[in-house]
Structure 1
Amino acid sequence: MRFRPSLAAVTVASVSALALAGLPLATAQTTGEFTISNFTDFHGRWEQKLDEKDSANSIPGAVALKCAADRAAGTRAHALTSSGDNIGASPFASMILDDEPTIEVLNQMGLDVSTVGNHEFDKGADDLVNRVVPEADWTYLAAGADGLDRSTGIKDYKIMNLNGVNVAFIGAVTDDMPNLVSPAGIQGITWQKPVDAINKLADELTANKEADVVIAMPHAGGIPATAWSANVDAVFMGHTHEFVEQTGTTPIVFQAGSYSQGLANVDFAYDKANDKLSLQKAELLRPADIIACDTPNAEMQTTIDTAKNEAKDAGAEVIGTLDQSLYRGINGDASGSENRGVESQLNNLLANVAKWGVANNSTVTPDIGVMNAGGVRADLQAGEVTYEEAFSVQPFGNEITYTTLKGSDFLEALEQQWKKPTDERPFLSLGVSDNVSYSYDPTRPQGERITNVLIDGAPIDPAKDYVVAGSTYLLAGGDRFTALANGADVAQLGYVDIQAFKEYLDAYLGGKGAPAPRTGQSNVGLQYTKPIVAGKSHTFELTSLIYTQGETAENVTVELGGAKQTVAIDSDFGPAGYNEAGKATVTLTVPADVVGEQQLRITTDAGTDISVPVTVYSTNPPAPTGSTEGFGAGSAIGSLSTIAAVVAAIVAAVGGVLATQPQLLGFLRMVVPGFPF
């Protein structure tokens, strides 16, 4: 291994020192010194925004970032690099102008090379290849993105000669791409693991002596130093918005946060004669360090000011006035950070906006609206709402459209909220429109948790076609909701999410008939022991009763056959990353004369109102498998092996109830294939 990081001393003397020592100048010139600066996940944060309360939250902006990089390099040979996500998920002023100001500012900064990030694909590979890359003066890298069009200049790697040293920069984007951008926009592209793609090239470039030094720039985070080839000399990660500084590892590993809030600067010296790379200095600057570098740049400032002025008029438009704040989900710990695993009022609202917007802008009337929690990026505070504030809620510019799905596909999509327990986000909440409600049992196996779904108050029909509205990202299977991609090809409406949201807010805040935001939950967790027997007490365990911000619910009521019990809600958020905020235990004594199919109704004082069909027996029959009714193969009425026993028990217990209960008959026929009556 040629690289041994050490911050204790400079191991290679300068040219002047060697000359003073009487050594031949030719020997001195075999050593090349150079500096590499790296930022990542810029996301169009070119405007400086200071946080007087906490400097760590300040946005240094592009001018300060360039100043800090230039100061770090001084007169040395220098490469300014990025590990991806330069554009996309940007502030209003950049996004409303298609991130053109960001591209221009980065050109003026002198960015040399950048990895392609996942957000470079927000508008699809065609937009990246045919618009972004031609406008960028830097080289974009995407090793391992097989099938990506490279005709306009995207490369696997770039070699820069820095003071006589051939430095290879290899960039690769995360292989989780199909879950991060609209699958429709990246069709035909396959994604290698970044480490594998970069290591392979590092070994090849070293073996054929094309590169003296290899720098890895994965748009991926959380990668240990031990994962890299011995031919990788330094790593600059991205994607996860973290700060990482590891100078005692081989290779050294850095990650410079996001939003211009971090800058990694590393000074190297390479002795070509001995193939020895030495680390002279390494630093990871934070916001206060970057902001302190205040050398102005007139050219960049003009670009920034011009962009702000162009976006100002559109952004300042007041859409209306909210009488209440609308929130995303947050974690229950002290950080109060964003949590995509819990139901939120804003996520449900945007699902409803999609349904409402498509109905008003096409010839179809959707049955269901959906929204992914990861697409909700800001809260809306009470008071005047501007176009810019509305835009910040969902800044991706996704198209809103619709598809046609079977009820079984929608059921599967609800099940897909549960990801792998080992995932960073083991649960991703799916926002649903106001006409959708459902119950689930969190203790059941994967694929069998959803126990009842109502669409407009009627049980979902797995065999029926439903028109589902949402973003092209989500309806193409984004966030691993692959069941949503099972329907017909999505319609091309050219209807963008911010347009839909603005129209909704105009209508809602202007009193023009748009529905008010849902105040209660769309779903509750429900567990109870079967069978339910008339005249006996039964305990119901409830979860997912509150939102994690702005919630007003204090009590939950359970009703069954005339029996009714109200208890206080425990506001505990439940296990981290799961949709279990707010729990309660309710015990009911079922009236002795209540038998057959009944509706178990769960309500809260904040507006939650969910009904679940249950069967009440007159005597204690043999207990079927499963803890609640449901759609999964393991549910009590989902297994053909138990249906005969269940039907026999019902008939024996209540006599001719099947003949007099058409709703029960319809329910059994719907969920039980081959039901014999």
Structure 2
Amino acid sequence: MPAISQPHHRRRRTVRLLAAAAGLATAGALAAALPSSAAPAEAGKPGKLPSRYQDVQLLSFNDLHGNLEPPSGSSGRVTELQADGTSKTIDAGGVEYLATHLRDARAGNKYSITAAGGDMVGASPLISGLFHDEPTIEALNKLDLDVTSVGNHEFDEGAKELGRLQNGGCHPTAGCYTDEEFEGADFPYLAANVLNEKTNKPILKPYWVWKKDGIKVGFIGVTLEDTPGVVSAEGVKGLKFKDEVETINKYARVLQAQGVKSIVALIHEGGAPASGAYNYNCDSPGAGDGISGPIVDIAKNITPQVDALVTGHTHAAYACTINDPAGNPRTVTSAASFGRLYTDTTLTYDRWTGDIARTSVKSANHVVTRTVAKAPDMTELISRWNTLAAPIGNRAIGYISADIPSTGTESPMGDLIADAQLAYGKTLDPETDLALMNPGGVRAGLTYAQKGTEGDGVVTYAEGFTVQPFSNTVNLQDFTGAQLIQVLKEQVSGSNAASPKILQPSSGLTYTLDLTKTGADRIVVDSVKLNGTALDPTATYRVATNSFLAGGGDGITTLGQGTNDLVGTDDLAALEQYLTANSSATSPIAPPATNRITIVQ
């Protein structure tokens, strides 16, 4: 697999770079050239050099997932802690509002950088996903995004398609969607730890340096090492993913050798704060005491040469500090997901040393409220792409009697999808016994009350696409009863021991999950039944899953060992068929009862 070529910067970016280059001839450039022992003269007077310290604004967000329009339901709200200890929810998100908030935040800040922590695209709503996320890249260009790391979802369609998003060109099979050829991203995607298996080199730039008036800030971008475990095998074919800490430390040394002392790591891996409120203080009582998860160990081991970490992947909100290996506090942030928050971090740059004065770093998350004016250019963008998507997206595919949420260990939406895949599996092979759905593939729920003209309870193709945007196929495989017991155990053991990936079961499969125990023991084997009968370890069962699980995804490797494979249609088509067959305007489908997994805790 060839490396992805570097982005070509078009006119808007060129103008910005020329302006920055012109600034290098100013007093700011002279200040950067001063020896560390030389004190710059007083700032603000004619002919004088800048002062020693300069605040640099870093605006960041992560996990946008193509949510150009305001996300609905719980996906479009954030929780805010109040001074009296209560909490309230706030409607948030939508690029029309995100653009206004970012532009307002930049106002008056001469030194401002906008960065992102990956998953800008992938698992996107119809308005973006239908067009292979070209609309989102166009929106990010208009947002003046400077740089982003890759996330795991940037590999949903493989490295070649990621290269097209970076560099432009028409889609190889869908062609061009408009009269103008897609230009690609004006900003660099960074993929320091994603290597071509043949060349052993990064497929994209590993780092990028922002420069203005002699100030230099380096950015290193990585995604989680376990990307192959959460992306289809086809999406990561020909690639290998290296350790996040080792990679960041390696390129921090490279940047230091180039004279870049101020460094920010963009890491598509994250943590879990103790509270879901965006303004929760995860440093109380001490640094990082209120956050757990993979980012904690990563942060503790990244070289002190890195001054701040912008993270993502877990869709959580936090702005806290975690001590670096030298024991010094370092800022670690994440802005939830779907464009509901942005983080504003002040990096105080020391012109004498070229480094960030860590003691002066301040960071906070801010809500992308919907009470501000919409950005007209984003409104135009959304309207233009919605016009193209409308003939497909507005088609009714079913009817529901109430909200069908996607939250919970066993979710109503997950059960509904599993039931749809079981029903579809039976059309391929009447001997199909059950279906299992991965929780990460359930991207949203279905909302009963809708604004607009579609009517309450109507499920459109666009809504279905938002729920299942991956275009996985529904596959049938044979497993023994013993293998199915092992599958259930792998949900809560091995790589899933710390963060279980509970498969959503189709109707008829029941068992008990005992959360008072640890590892595989959390599955009560004697409780596992199919249609009221205990599984026979030696019997053969026909199982429907999507192609991601059929490849052993989510660390459930036994699902990749089935036999007698049969590949069917895509999973969204299976859901549409089920809704069409089982619901109508006068007889809508009700949310499943979520009583298939009995939880002991």
Same fold (TM over 0.5): yes
Is the alpha carbon distance of 1:430 and 1:148 closer, same or farther for their aligned partners in structure 2, counting shifts above 3 Å? same
Question: Which residue does 1:655 correspond to in 2?
Answer: none
Q: Give 1:62 deviation, angstroms.
A: 2.0
Distance 2:505 2:132 in 1: 29
Structure 2 residue 488 is matched with structure 1 residue 414: yes
Q: Give 1:297 deviation, angstroms.
A: 4.2
Determine if contact 1:133/1:153 at 8 Å carries over to the other structure: no
TM-score (norm. length: structure 1):
0.63
Structure 2 residue 554 is matched with structure 1 residue 504: no
Distance 2:485 2:581 in 1: 31
Is the alpha carbon distance of 1:315 and 1:424 closer, same or farther for their aligned partners in structure 2, counting shifts above 3 Å? farther
Distance 1:449 1:320 in 2: 37
Is the alpha carbon distance of 1:422 and 1:326 closer, same or farther for their aligned partners in structure 2, counting shifts above 3 Å? closer
Question: Which residue does 2:242 correspond to in 1?
Answer: 192
Distance 1:84 1:39 in 2: 9
Determine if contact 2:57/2:109 at 8 Å carries over to the other structure: no
Is the alpha carbon distance of 1:48 and 1:390 closer, same or farther for their aligned partners in structure 2, counting shifts above 3 Å? closer
**Alpha-carbon deviations, 1:286-345, whole Å to 9, x = none?**
226x65653x644332111112333334333333333465454xxxxxxxxx323xx344
Q: Secondary structure at the match of 1:414?
A: helix
Question: Which residue does 1:386 correspond to in 2?
Answer: 460
Is the alpha carbon distance of 1:97 and 1:155 closer, same or farther for their aligned partners in structure 2, counting shifts above 3 Å? same
Determine if contact 2:393/2:460 at 8 Å carries over to the other structure: yes
Alignment counterpart, residue 206 of structure 2, candidates 135, 156, 173? 156
Determine if contact 2:78/2:89 at 8 Å carries over to the other structure: no
Structure 1 stretches of 5 or more lacking a match?
A: 1-13, 329-337, 524-543, 545-572, 576-677
Question: Which residue does 1:451 correspond to in 2?
Answer: 526
Question: Which residue does 1:43 correspond to in 2?
Answer: 65
Q: Secondary structure at the match of 1:160?
A: strand
Q: Give 1:379 deviation, angstroms.
A: 3.6
Q: Give 1:97 deviation, angstroms.
A: 3.3
Structure 1 or 2, whichever has the larger Rg, is: 1
Report matched runs for 1:155-554 at 5 Å: 155-206=205-256, 208-222=257-271, 223-224=295-296, 226-246=300-320, 250-278=329-357, 282-287=362-367, 291=370, 294=373, 297-323=375-401, 326-328=404-406, 338-340=407-409, 343-360=410-427, 362=428, 366-380=432-446, 383-419=457-493, 423-425=497-499, 427-437=500-510, 446=520, 449-451=524-526, 460-463=535-538, 465-488=540-563, 491=566, 493=568, 495-510=569-584, 521-522=595-596, 544=598
Distance 2:536 2:588 in 1: 28
Report matched runs for 1:16-55 at 5 Å: 17-18=42-43, 20=45, 25=48, 27-28=49-50, 34-48=56-70
AA partner of residue 504 (structure 2): G
Q: Give 1:419 deviation, angstroms.
A: 2.9
Alignment counterpart, residue 132 of structure 2, candidates 95, 98, 102? 98
**Alpha-carbon deviations, 1:10-53, whole Å to 9, x = none?**
xxxx9994363x8x64x539876643221111122222468799
Distance 2:233 2:495 in 1: 24
Distance 1:178 1:284 in 2: 32
**Alpha-carbon deviations, 1:560-603, whole Å to 9, x = none?**
xxxxxxxxxxxxx642xxxxxxxxxxxxxxxxxxxxxxxxxxxx
Distance 2:431 2:162 in 1: 34
Q: Give 1:82 deviation, angstroms.
A: 0.5
Determine if contact 1:370/1:431 at 8 Å carries over to the other structure: yes
Q: Give 1:365 deviation, angstroms.
A: 5.4
AA partner of residue 258 (structure 1): S
Higher normalized contact order (CA 8 Å, seq sep 6+, divided by chain length): 2
Report the more deviating stretch, 221-230 or 299-308: 221-230
Report matched runs for 1:106-145 at 5 Å: 106-131=140-165, 134=168, 135-145=184-194
Determine if contact 2:476/2:566 at 8 Å carries over to the other structure: yes
Determine if contact 2:127/2:386 at 8 Å carries over to the other structure: yes
Aligned length: 495
Distance 1:461 1:514 in 2: 36
AA partner of residue 507 (structure 2): D
Q: Secondary structure at the match of 1:18?
A: coil
Distance 2:356 2:447 in 1: 53
TM-score (norm. length: structure 2):
0.70
AA partner of residue 98 (structure 2): L
Structure 2 stretches of 5 or more lacking a match?
A: 1-38, 81-87, 169-183, 272-294, 323-327, 449-456
AA partner of residue 400 (structure 2): L
Distance 2:491 2:321 in 1: 39
Q: Secondary structure at the match of 2:142?
A: helix
Cα RMSD, aligned residues only: 4.1
Alignment counterpart, residue 91 of structure 2, candidates 58, 62, 68? 58
Distance 2:104 2:131 in 1: 31
Is the alpha carbon distance of 1:58 and 1:424 closer, same or farther for their aligned partners in structure 2, counting shifts above 3 Å? farther
